[in-house]
Amino acid sequence: QDAQMLLRIRERLVKQRTKLSNQIRGMLLEYGLCINKGTAALRRALPEFLEDADNSLTWTARSLFSELYEEYLLLSDKIEKVDKKIKAFTNENELCQLAQTVTGIGPITALALYAAIGNGKHFANGRHFAAWCGLVPRQHSTGGKSVLYGISKKGNIVLRALLVHGARSVLNVVDKKEDKLSVWATNLKMKKSYNVACVALANKLARVVWSVIANNRPYELKMV
């Protein structure tokens, strides 16, 4: 319950910050000012717009955008505090520590795994867990032929998104590593589109992390 509460509070704060940032960007566009996506871009550009006396912002607009920016910073500060609590929780939880031995699994994903499946032993195997997350392609068989479609929208949406984000971060650095998982992911990235490779790697990570948790054994990288 504690783990689920931390995740729900963080999710709410992130949604509020995203909604606020979109509102800020949209209203700035009405003044002919554009900010790229991302927290770093907003934090860099908005103060510059507020300090630039030669742009199209009126005095009233500067005051209002300043207040919105303070609200944005407050939400970011709250998210950082929740992230620290999540990290402290995972540092004291054995299952979360085991999960984080897997490449691409950070504190938030580890906590989400713990909150959702515990020790994972109610799944028969890693494929069942990956399917439960919605990371296994939909399959249709007819006339002795099997056709694989894209992944379904069913399953655990939160875990699926976190595992895909983790896979994306792994794909960005696999070229520099020589373990078996990285080599497999590198070959996959060369043969498939980036998004397809991300989902395929997320599927593999889901199976690996389930095995680690269910067998109570840390993940060990195997070199080629």
**For 152-170, how does the pLDDT look when each residue is reduced to its tens digit (9 = 90+)?**
555 678 899 999 999 999 9
Q: What is the mean pLDDT of residues 49-62?
A: 93
Is 39 a residue whose pLDDT tops 70?
A: yes
**Confidence tier at 18 by pLDDT (50, 70, 90):** very high
Helix (H, G, I), strand (E, B) or coil at 32: coil
Q: What is the mean pLDDT of residues 129-136?
A: 86
User: Looking at residue 173, what is its pLDDT?
Assistant: 86
Is 140 a residue whose pLDDT tops 50?
A: no
Is 102 a residue whose pLDDT tops 60?
A: yes
Q: Are 211 and 102 in contact (CB under 8 A)?
A: no
Average pLDDT taken over every residue of the chain:
88
Q: What is the mean pLDDT of residues 38-53?
A: 93
Other Cβ atoms less than 10 A from the Cβ of 198: the count is 23
> Distance (Å, rounded) from C-alpha 97 to C-alpha 19?
33
DSSP character for 188?
H
Which residue shows structure tokens 């020589």? 178
What does 76-130 look like in DSSP terms, one character per residue? HHHHHHHHHHHHHHHHH-HHHHHHTTSTT--HHHHHHHHHHHTT-TTSSSHHHHH
**Confidence tier at 193 by pLDDT (50, 70, 90):** confident
- Name the residue type at position 63: S
Sequence-distant (≥ 6) Cβ neighbours of residue 138 within 8 angstroms:
148, 149, 150, 151, 152
- Name the residue type at position 91: N
Is 96 a residue whose pLDDT tops 50?
A: yes
Alpha carbon dihedral 210, 85, 89, 99, in 10-degree steps, equals 20
> What's the whole-model pTM score?
0.82
User: Looking at residue 162, what is its pLDDT?
Assistant: 93
Which whole-number Å values give the CA distances from 140 to 135, 146, 151, 153, 192, in the listed order?
A: 16, 6, 12, 16, 22
Q: What is the mean pLDDT of residues 65-75?
A: 97
- Tens of pLDDT, residue by residue over 204-221, are 999 999 999 999 999 987
In this structure, what token pair is assigned to residue 3? 């783990």
